[in-house]
Copies of this chain bind each other. A is one copy, B any other.
């Protein structure tokens, strides 16, 4: 293989390598972004990370679609349940965070 192919604007690089790079950089971002959270908001932080980790709903929705479009019905069912669980978390997590954050007020001058 000539190195032209190796270069090729990254075309010869497997997606998994790109994803690994993304993962590593995201860990750096996570590290910095979490350390910069003020301790007073650590409880909302726990609630909101909960909510955003439910983005795994993406996988659940694909499972439902997969089942419905000729895949195994196991997928439909596990997918649908997972969608419901994630939805509890998403709505519950963001709304409870919002409720908490709404309580943090500055001194009325």
Chain B residues, Cβ within 8 Å of A69? 2-3
In the complex, whether A21 has a CB less than 8 A from a CB of chain B is: yes
Q: How large is the interface on A (under 10, 10 to 19, 20 to 34, 35 or more residues)?
A: 20 to 34
Kindly state the separation between the CA atoms of A26 and B3 in the bound complex, as whole angstroms.
26
In the complex, whether A28 has a CB less than 8 A from a CB of chain B is: yes
In the complex, whether A39 has a CB less than 8 A from a CB of chain B is: no
Chain A facing B: main interface SS: helix
- Given contacts A13-B15, A18-B15, A19-B10, are A36 and B25 in contact (CB under 8 A)? no
- Given contacts A29-B28, A62-B3, are A19 and B16 in contact (CB under 8 A)? no
In the complex, whether A37 has a CB less than 8 A from a CB of chain B is: no
